[in-house]
Structure 1
């Protein structure tokens, strides 16, 4: 490949070749320390994801906001030392575990936190779920949804930063390796930018509802139990396949907006809840939910375990419950955790399909719907 020094660089950066990839293979490679430094800086970004209409109320203090209630939910499933099991997703930890993500002990003060709200708005927006018993009204379901969407936006924007870092991390590599890394990052950014656009549009709808500018057009499914759920999670996903292995939507087609499902599993006043929330017009998500509702209630907790660990990273587990699992059950969960780690692999169609490995420890008492 021959390119003139003053021609546009082949990587589509817009820069001249002499100011971009010319001689890149002879440059000093990015060190492990630089990569770790980027990871730490990226995870320490401070923002408040409140509506633009409320920005003037922001305090100067951005806090470690919990996406899962510390007092009501994490403390409920923590061990005597106030630790839960969760994933420590950082470059140093991935290096230490040789590329594997495994459940490790995390203190409840650190679990599920992100620097995504100021102290004023973290209190104002989520008091309805932090300070009173969960009854499953629309205000509480909206608050759960809002927090999950903000956390996912924060994560996706962080992924975009990391993708940009990757573009500059091809120093000291052969031209072929440089081309592969640049193409990989470019393809990744297409998907990330599409996800950010969709999440921003969903958040805009939630902002309007919070501000009373529009009536609710959201649907919620609430699964209840008389005892705490041993797994706590707060996340959002665009489901690809359902619990029967049927294809729900093709996320590879970026010309079509993906339909999103928000889900939370938590405890409140000694009771356990799983709440699914989505836009009422999202027919594909409804099809996914109906595949869950078709499962026998006695097997639904096992289906939820497959779902939580198979599609969400922001998942935390009771050490006591984990200690009751067999090696086969733990192996299944660890396999589910790794199912979405390799970006070069597609999600298996049977990810959520029953495979004979069952889980116990939470009995479902009732299932309710709002605006279904």
Structure 2
């Protein structure tokens, strides 16, 4: 490869070659400590995801906002030391566990938090679900959605920043390795940027709903129980397959605009709820939801477990429920957590279908449909 010192660098950074990859193989390789430090800085950045029209009202204090209610849900399922099981997804922990994601004890003060709202708007937007029993009001369902989408935007923006850190991992390496690392990072960024565009468009819809610009563009499915839900979740995903194992959208094609569904599992006033929410116009998601409703009530909890751990990372488990599971069920959940980590072993068709591993500990008393 022959590039003039003053030409644009081959890695598409926009910098001149002499200020970018010239002599890269002789540079000091980035250390594990530096990688962990940069990762920590990315996870600690502060912002407020309130709609732009309200940003002038922000105060200066960014809080550790809970995506799953601490006062109701997390404390409801925590053990006597106020801990729940969850995934600690950070670079230091990934190094420690040799790339494996395993449920570990997390204090309820740290579980599900991110620095995504100022103190004023965290209180203003989510008081309806933090300070009041859940009654499936339009305001409460919208608040659940808004918080899940904000957390996912925060995570995806962090992933984009992390991909820039990955690019620095070619320091001290020969050209072939530099090319490989830069190609991997560039391909990764294409997917992240596509997801960010889709999430931003989704949030624009919620911003409009929050500001009262339009209504009745959201649909909700609610499972209710007289028992607390042992797994608390807050997530938004673009499912590839439904509960029958049918492929419903191809996320490998970046020209496809993915449709998304938000789901929240939580406890409130001693009762358990799972709330699915989506844009009413999303025909693919409506079909996805219908394959879940079609499952016999006794099998829905197992289907939810496959969904929670197969597609969501922001999940938290009751230690009492987890410790009481047979080994086969624990292994199933651990395999679900690792699904998709290795794309060569990932089977999207089989992810959500019943494979005979049953789960108990929560029953559905009522199913409510709103606006569909």
Q: TM-score scaled to structure 2, two decimals? A: 0.98
Output the CA distance in 1 between the equivalents of 2:47 and 2:7.
39
Output the CA distance in 2 between the equivalents of 1:40 and 1:95.
14
Output the CA distance in 1 between the equivalents of 2:149 and 2:30.
33
SS of residue matched to 2:349: coil
Output the CA distance in 2 between the equivalents of 1:297 and 1:176.
55
Mean CA deviation greater in 126-135 or 4-13: 4-13
- In structure 2, the CA distance between the partners of 1:182 and 1:345, relative to structure 1 (3 Å rule), is farther
Q: Which residue of 2 aligns with 1:321?
A: 321
Output the CA distance in 1 between the equivalents of 2:344 and 2:180.
13
Q: Which residue of 2 aligns with 1:187?
A: 187
Output the CA distance in 2 between the equivalents of 1:44 and 1:51.
21
Output the CA distance in 2 between the equivalents of 1:26 and 1:163.
22
Q: Report if aligned partners of 2:240, 2:348 keep a CA contact under 8 Å in 1.
A: no
Question: 1:77 aligned to 2:72?
Answer: no
Output the CA distance in 1 between the equivalents of 2:176 and 2:225.
56
Q: Which residue of 1 aligns with 2:266?
A: 266
Corresponding pairs, count: 372
SS of residue matched to 2:64: strand
SS of residue matched to 1:320: helix
Q: Which residue of 2 aligns with 1:243?
A: 243
Shift of 1:169: 1.6
Mapping for residues 1-372 of structure 1, pairs under 5 Å = 1-342=1-342, 346-372=346-372
Output the CA distance in 2 between the equivalents of 1:18 and 1:222.
58
| Unpaired runs of at least 5, structure 2 | none
SS of residue matched to 1:201: helix
Output the CA distance in 2 between the equivalents of 1:318 and 1:176.
47
CA RMSD across the alignment? 1.1
Shift of 1:167: 1.0
Output the CA distance in 1 between the equivalents of 2:117 and 2:143.
13
- In structure 2, the CA distance between the partners of 1:264 and 1:279, relative to structure 1 (3 Å rule), is same
For residues 301-334 of structure 1, what are the alpha-carbon distances to aligned partners after superposition, in whole Å with 9 as ceiling and x for unaligned?
0010000000011000000000111111111100
Output the CA distance in 2 between the equivalents of 1:157 and 1:239.
20
Q: TM-score scaled to structure 1, two decimals? A: 0.98
Shift of 1:66: 0.3
SS of residue matched to 1:284: helix
Shift of 1:158: 0.2
For residues 50-105 of structure 1, what are the alpha-carbon distances to aligned partners after superposition, in whole Å with 9 as ceiling and x for unaligned?
01111111111100000000010000100000000000111111111111110000
Q: Show structure 1 runs of 4+ deviating over 3 A.
A: 342-347
- In structure 2, the CA distance between the partners of 1:344 and 1:20, relative to structure 1 (3 Å rule), is farther
Q: Report if aligned partners of 2:216, 2:371 keep a CA contact under 8 Å in 1.
A: no
Output the CA distance in 2 between the equivalents of 1:247 and 1:184.
26
Output the CA distance in 2 between the equivalents of 1:351 and 1:312.
12
| Unpaired runs of at least 5, structure 1 | none
Shift of 1:149: 0.3
Mean CA deviation greater in 17-26 or 215-224: 17-26
- In structure 2, the CA distance between the partners of 1:344 and 1:36, relative to structure 1 (3 Å rule), is farther
SS of residue matched to 1:224: strand
Output the CA distance in 2 between the equivalents of 1:335 and 1:346.
11
SS of residue matched to 1:349: helix
SS of residue matched to 1:42: helix
Output the CA distance in 2 between the equivalents of 1:62 and 1:344.
40
Shift of 1:7: 2.6
Mean CA deviation greater in 273-282 or 172-181: 172-181
Shift of 1:260: 0.5
Output the CA distance in 1 between the equivalents of 2:211 and 2:19.
48
